[in-house]
Amino acid sequence: MTSLDVELRSVRDGGRKALVPYFVAGLSDDWPDHVRAAVHAGADAVEIGIPFSDPMMDGVVIQEAADIALRRGTTLLSILDELSTLDVGVPLVAMTYYNLFHHLGLERSAGALRAAGISGTIVPDLPIEELGSWQSACNDQDVACVLMVAPSTPLERVERVNSLSQGFVYASARMAVTGAASDGGHAADVVQRVRLSGDKPVYVGIGITTPKQAETAAGFADGVIVGTALVQRLLGGEGAAGVEAFVGELRRAIDAA
């Protein structure tokens, strides 16, 4: 069991629904302050988006933010260098694409993530059939590999994903790239299917846009991931104060679930 497993099970077993905001690293000079603000407002973990030039899972808002970050010269190693001085007291989970780790080298990447304080990764373009080498490198560094389940995932495959995922299982609420949505999609059904085959915490993401939607998702899931709605505010000029206010709204809504 990884340290991320231990920490997130502790959150769940303590009766708290987890709130996980997502940020695009390198979007601005002060992006680490956004992470600090989110934690101060009640985040239980933070997803750190490492920008990539061909983000197959990301919608237009996060793509725009990633493009800005890349034009600013952001790289995997520059992000990890900044994170190495960021001590916020909650787990940090990196989300990016396999090419970056393959290019740097799997063992070197896993070690660099751990040295920077990252305790988990989400790599959506790495199928479970090809997970072995990456998960082995991560296991050596106590870095969890968080896997995803989609509404279309067959039950047989859900069971395999559940057995391999570490930290939590990411339940995608819809068959879509990241982005705002007006409803909860298929999140409840996905969570139910994941729970049939294991007891790992299950967090819902993709389309959670408003505090009300977060509250609804927290009613049946162990946690909620909010990305696009937060990144959109940052693109609109809101800074750390705006992050803290919005994450605080989400926290209060989730606590009411």
- Name the residues annotated as catalytic: 47, 58
85 closest CA partner among 116, 118, 45: 116
Q: How many other β-carbons are positioned within 10 Å of the β-carbon of residue 160?
A: 15
- State the pTM of this model: 0.94
Q: Taking the C-alpha atoms of 128, 226, 119 and 177 in order, what is their torsion angle to the nearest 10 degrees?
A: 30
DSSP 3-state of 195: helix
Q: How many other β-carbons are positioned within 10 Å of the β-carbon of residue 232?
A: 18
Question: In the 8-state DSSP scheme, what is residue 18?
Answer: E
Burial letters 74-106, b for 16+ CB under 10 A, else e: bbbeebbebbeebebebbbbbbbbbebbeeeeb
> Cβ contacts of residue 157 below 8 Å, gap of 6+?
128
Euclidean distance between CA atoms 35 and 17, whole angstroms = 19
Tokens for 193, please give them: 């299917």
What does the pLDDT read at residue 12?
A: 97
What does the pLDDT read at residue 257?
A: 76
Query: Which residues partner with 146 through β-bridges?
Result: 122
Give the residue, 108 or 151, on which the prediction is more confident.
108
Structural domains of the chain in order of their starting residue, each with its CATH number: 3-145+208-255 (3.20.20.70)
What does the pLDDT read at residue 197?
A: 87
What does the pLDDT read at residue 187?
A: 86
Mean pLDDT of 8-28: 97
Q: How many other β-carbons are positioned within 10 Å of the β-carbon of residue 121?
A: 27
**Has residue 180 got a pLDDT over 80?**
no
What does the pLDDT read at residue 177?
A: 43
CA-CA-CA-CA torsion sign (104, 109, 111, 113): positive
What does the pLDDT read at residue 175?
A: 44
